[in-house]
Chains A and B, each alone.
Chain A
Amino acid sequence: MIAHVTHILPLASIRRKRILPIKGTVLVRAGQKVTPTDIIAQADLTPEHIVLDIARGLGVSPNKAASYITREIGDEISEGSKVASRSGFASRVVRSPFPGRLVSISGGQVLIEIKNKPFQLKAGIPGSIASIEAERGAIIETNGAWIQGVWGNGKVDYGQLTILSKDLDHIVTPDGFDVSQRGTMMLGGYCNQAKALETAADVPIRGLILSSLAPKLISTAIKMPYPIIVLEGFDQVKMNSAAHTLLTTNESRELAINAESYNRFEGKRPEIVIPLQGAGDSPTPLNVETFTQGQKVRILRSPHASTVAKITFVQPGLTRFPSGLRAAAANVELEDGEKAVVPLANIEVLG
């Protein structure tokens, strides 16, 4: 059975391909250092348009309208400039109400693309540009600690890590935030108060790392201006010890949160990167493993959700669970020494 891997690594070589979906302009060069919020490429991804109905404006049929158009496809059009005119007894003029670029002439109508704010592609992680893909983007490389999450609110930022509490049972509350945390990345536990997220925005903090989030706060979290990354899920569960140890031992270091939403089909997953300068080349971790004895795993579901364990035996065949379901299973030893049998479907390899 395929073993999915969640990366929680003190040192890894990380490569990220950041590519525009369409052709655009690349704004970085090979070898350049970038921060997560640097724009590496931009494109007019969702331009706005206006349609000028030339046929109606000139009072002619759509078939004849094209012969009265005085501009060509690709022409830059200034506000109020003439786009089509008909001279003679009933002379008429059609002007563009906005500046833009003429992009299409069809069926007696002219389409003008209005200048719009371009889509800007952020680096997402700190690092250096390994290579450029012309007109599309770049590959960014970095070495550092790497922690993958399970949910993100879509924002990206970086800053110095400050720890709200080292207690694994920590609950994030509004009074946990103060101005001394301004501009920092905060590490907390479980959050179930919208006010806490809003208070953090008022400080303002740069980002928030949570073990878990109450589902009722999802819409609030998405509205926050700073990145929020959830490492475990939507239950009052402790952060897994591997991630917690890695983060707490990196207090005061710069870290980046790319809280993009988790999408398996598009290969997106929220992540934290703590760049470690001069770390040298690090191994590139595998994304897939096969379950074997001795592997360090994280349990995904109750009754031991978020607990780190070690596989002691992969059971042959199918095992019956208290629910009555039969599934492929492994014997694991939890960190406190307790033994458990878990479905393979409910564990991920840490690596």
Chain B
Amino acid sequence: MAKSSLVDADSLLAVEIGTVNTRALLFDAVEGNYRFLASGTSTSTVAAPMYDAGEGVRMALDQLHNISGRLLVGMDERLMMPSTPDGSGIDRFSASLSAGQPLKVAAVGLLDDVSLKSVRRLVGAINSRIVETLSLDDRRKPEAQIDSIIRLRPDIVVIAGGTNNGASRSVLKLINTLGMALHLLPANFRPEVLYAGNENLGGNVTSFLENLVPFSIVPNLRPNHGTEQLGPAELMLTEIFRKIHGRKTQGIQELDTWASGMLQPTSIAFGRVIRFLSRVYDPTKGVLGIDVGASSTTVASSFSGDLRLKVYSRLGMGESLVGLVNRTKLEDITRWIPLDVPDDYVANYIYNKAIYPASLPATRADLAIEQALAREVIRAALSQAKETFPKDLSGPKRAGLLPWFEPIIAAGSVIAHAPSFAQSLLMILDGVEPTGITKIILDKNNIAPALGTAAVLNSILAVQVLESSSFINLGTVISPVGKARQGSPVLRLKIIYDSGQENIVDVKNGALQTIPLPPGRSAQLHIQPLHRFDVGMGGPGKSGRLRVSGSYFGIVIDARGRPIRHSASPDRRRELLVKWHKMLET
């Protein structure tokens, strides 16, 4: 990978504006390679009482200045760009945004499981919510459709449908209904309209809509029956995202100007990093990224460059926690709490956290609830994301389980800023339930979105920082899948350290255990599944060997079963949760 020395290295300042926090991250070349140097964090100021994203950015830059000693903002309150010979300022600036209410989308397409499916995939990549759909499957009268659009006032309308040279009359009929609604919307509520349908109709649709609404046209999402192309539409959607947030939120336009008009949705930037990694890692496995935010959770899964990206705007650790309660039973949350906490207290906690999303769990009980919620947020997001995975992935034969992924990258304050890495790892293992052999990587400093935005400006920087120690390699996790009685041996591991020392470990069904292998060391690992358990080495019962690099926990064997089953006895359940936690802490 790119290890060349950098002669004229450009420093980079990357800013990420989240719902609760705004972060500024500084990257520069150190001894010929790009490195993440420092970060500053501030409360986000997108919402009340400041309503100006720029204030939070300035405070984050102040903190970064205090930490790094580097002057970033001049006396004129402007970013110092390019850098000066005395080391002040920066050369490049990038920005990403995840804060703000989800954009309201109206999706227009011919068929629910074809063109509308593509629209859902497209807009799912940003923090958005489909509030209305118009299609041939819609049995409502046109007036009902019109009234609904007027009432819901979408921010964006995406029109798809008809392959090129395919259906045209049906598409035009839908657009005519849409046009009547748009015509009736007051000018300040008219949405951005993106046309990504039958290209033969492009001229007609353009002349019909371009004087009515802000209008964009991109190549067809479904040019023919077997092809789906989201790339060009995604680029335009990003531009629309910038325009809308620039209008809605003070300070965003200025940031976009600093970023040379390249401000990105955080999810898209995160997805870009996951896609890149999937091209580098084992092509027989996917790469999975999960970012648990205050207002939403992003799941990015990529399979040899084929990215599936979805922002779950109803699944976050802040205001949207109430949405989790509506889709999950309370006992699904409380089953992860190792303390005896009354159900009412947990329910109250959820609603109070929704009122004060920036508040922190100061007590052990509150932290346990928060981390239980994080597990269920991840599980709920992944259970939906699984529906979007390609059908022919390699993985365990049992339905509903996660296919083989390596690595799995986790981000978001609740995981990254947990008091211990043991807590971070347990949240990831319990939420994701990985299968086979994988590496768990923690994005401790929320660097991934910054690298995604940086990749556009400086791909060498993105690659070199990804390869550096800026991400925490928590461990190589082996999760065998199969059926056996609790306590039966299911794996035999032989570890040959570089020193020549050997160690044999038998793992019993239900166990969670670690074999230390510190960072900087490596070892040869022979894995022998028993009872036809599957670890992803060619099928049930197949054994194999691999080279393992050292990491914070070394080798982690999670033989607790997939899915993890909890004891019906609350005392026994809590006992086990404590035991798992202690095992990792020690």
Q: Which residues of A contact B (CB under 8 A)?
A: 1-2, 4-5, 21-23, 46-51, 103-104, 106-107, 109, 111, 113, 150-151, 214-216, 218, 233-236, 262, 264-265, 267, 269, 287-288, 300-303, 305, 321-327, 342-343, 345-346
Contacts and interface: CB of A to CB of B under 8 A. Distances in A.
B16 to A, nearest CB: 18
B364 A104 contact: no
Contact of A51 (B146, B186, B358, B419): B146
Contacts of B344: 214
B366 interface: yes
Contacts of A214: 344, 348
B362 A321 contact: yes
Contacts of B417: 325
A170 B189 CA distance: 46
B362 A346 contact: yes
Contacts of B47: 264-265
A288 B50 contact: yes
B355 A151 contact: yes
B183 A215 contact: no
Nearest to B371: A323
A215 B351 contact: yes
Contact of B101 (A4, A265, A324): A265
7 nearest interchain CB pairs? A324-B419, A287-B49, A264-B47, A234-B351, A323-B367, A107-B176, A22-B186
A300 B351 contact: no
B247 to A, nearest CB: 14
Contacts of A103: 183-184
Given A46-B150, A235-B348, 20 more contacts: A5-B49, A21-B186, A23-B186, A49-B184, A51-B143, A103-B184, A106-B179, A151-B355, A216-B347, A235-B345, A267-B49, A288-B49, A288-B50, A300-B356, A301-B352, A321-B360, A323-B363, A323-B364, A323-B366, A326-B419
A325 B352 contact: no
A197 to B, nearest CB: 17
Contacts of B351: 215, 218, 233-234
Interface in B343-378: 344-345, 347-348, 350-352, 355-356, 358-367
Given A109-B176, A111-B184, A2 B50 contact: yes
B352 A233 contact: yes
Contact of B362 (A2, A267, A343): A343
Interface string B36-53: 000000110111111100
A124 B129 CA distance: 30
A21 B147 contact: no
B188 interface: yes
A264 B345 CA distance: 25
B363 A303 contact: yes
A111 B366 contact: no
A225 to B, nearest CB: 23
B251 to A, nearest CB: 14
A325 B146 contact: no
Given A49-B143, A343-B360, A106 B43 contact: no
Contact of B420 (A264, A269, A324): A324
A267 B356 CA distance: 15
Interface residues of B, number: 53
Nearest to B175: A107
Which residue of A4, A47, A106, A265 has the most chain B CB atoms within 10 A of its CB atom? A265
B570 interface: no
Contacts of A216: 347
Interface of B: 42-43, 45-51, 59, 100-101, 141-143, 146-147, 150-151, 172-173, 176-177, 179-180, 183-184, 186, 188-189, 344-345, 347-348, 350-352, 355-356, 358-367, 417, 419-420, 423
A349 B48 CA distance: 15
Contacts of B355: 150-151, 233-234, 262
28 contacts: A2-B42, A2-B59, A5-B49, A48-B143, A48-B147, A49-B184, A218-B351, A233-B352, A233-B355, A233-B356, A234-B348, A236-B348, A262-B355, A265-B46, A267-B51, A269-B48, A301-B361, A301-B366, A302-B362, A305-B352, A321-B360, A321-B363, A323-B362, A323-B363, A323-B367, A323-B419, A324-B423, A342-B362
Given A49-B143, A215-B351, A287 B359 contact: no
B14 to A, nearest CB: 22
Nearest to B368: A323
A265 B172 CA distance: 37
Contact of A104 (B51, B151, B183, B347): B183
Nearest to A264: B47
B48 A104 contact: no
A148 to B, nearest CB: 11
A345 B362 CA distance: 10
Contact of B363 (A104, A288, A302): A302
A74 to B, nearest CB: 13
Nearest to A107: B176
A321 B419 CA distance: 10
Contacts of A46: 147, 150-151
Contacts of A323: 360-364, 366-367, 419
Contacts of A106: 176, 179-180, 183
B356 A50 contact: no
Contacts of B361: 301, 323, 325
Contact of B43 (A1, A51, A215, A300): A1
Nearest to A24: B186
A278 to B, nearest CB: 30
Contacts of A321: 360, 362-363
A85 B278 CA distance: 64
B131 to A, nearest CB: 14
A150 B351 CA distance: 11
A288 B56 CA distance: 13
